[in-house]
Amino acid sequence: MIRALWWFTGLAQLSVFVQVVMGVIMVAAQDRVAPQFHMFYGFVALMAIAIIYSYRLQSPSTATCSTAAAGCSSSAWASGPC
C-alpha cells in the first residue's frame, strides 16, 4: 500500500516539476513577464518536494507521516488545502 502511494506521490511531484520547468521556459524563451508570486510559488513547491523527498528513507513510523505529508502537499498545491 505504501509503495503504491509513493508511486502516485512521485507522479504528482513530477507534474509539479514539469509545470515549474515549463513556466521557466516560457519566461526565458518568450520574454514574458511573470508575476513575482508565481515565481515564488514555483520555488516553494520545488523546495517542499525536495524536503519531503528527503524524508523517504526515515524509520517506518515517520515514513508514513512523510508519505501523508507528501500527498497532502502535492494535492494542496494543485487544488487547495487538504
**pLDDT, tens only, 21-65:** 888 888 889 888 888 888 898 889 889 888 887 877 775 655 555
CB of 1 closer than 8 Å to CB of 66: no
Total-model pTM: 0.56
3-state helix, strand, coil split of the chain in percent (to 5) is 80, 0, 20
CB of 17 closer than 8 Å to CB of 82: no
Which grid cell is 33?
A: 513577464
Phi first, then psi: what are they for 57, rounded to 5°? -105, 20
**Which residues have CB under 8 Å from 43's CB, separation 6+?**
none
